[in-house]
Amino acid sequence: EDQVTQSPEALRLQEGESSSLNCSYTVSGLRGLFWYRQDPGKGPEFLFTLYSAGEEKEKERLKATLTKKESFLHITAPKPEDSATYLCAVRGGSNYKLTFGKGTLLTVNP
């Protein structure tokens, strides 16, 4: 069974204070690792897909990296508008579904 564990559960940063969120996973035959952003009461918004170890993707202040066991979402010089819950999900090779972690609630204070 695919499993995803995200840490920390919550992270509070000051504006401009860079940090990283962790997503550890176990999956049989990784078909893709996905990062989403979710604002309160809204649907998850797609950020990145990573497919193989060593891959990196960037978007504005966010950078996602992937190893064989975990993924990191690095946030550089965050702003208050980056405050949200960040979700990690994996798709294994034996099925079509996404398995989600429970998310990291990021709060960036001005």
The helix (run of H) or strand (run of E) holding residue 12 is strand 10-14
Tell whether residue 101 is a contact of other proteins (CB under 8 A).
Answer: yes
19-26 and 32-38 beta bridge pairing: unpaired
Judge whether 11 and 82 are in contact, CB under 8 Å.
Answer: no
Q: Which of 23, 66, 73, 87 binds other proteins (CB under 8 A)?
A: 87
| Of the candidate residues 8, 16, 20, 46, the single one contacting other proteins (CB under 8 A) | 46
Q: Would you call the peptide bond into 44 cis, given omega within 30 degrees of 0 as the criterion?
A: no
The two beta strands, 99-100 and 62-66, are unpaired
User: Pick from 31, 57, 63, 74: which binds other proteins (CB under 8 A)?
Assistant: 31
Strands 19-26 and 84-91: unpaired
Segment interacting with other proteins, rule: CB under 8 A, options 15-23, 53-61, 62-70, 101-109 = 101-109
Enter the tokens of residue 107: 């709060």
Binds other proteins (CB under 8 A): choice among 77, 102, 107, 109? 102
Applying CB under 8 A, which part among 16-24, 38-46, 58-66, 69-77 lies near other proteins? 38-46
Q: Which residues bind other proteins (CB under 8 A)?
A: 31-32, 34, 36, 41-46, 49, 51, 87, 89, 91, 96-98, 100-103
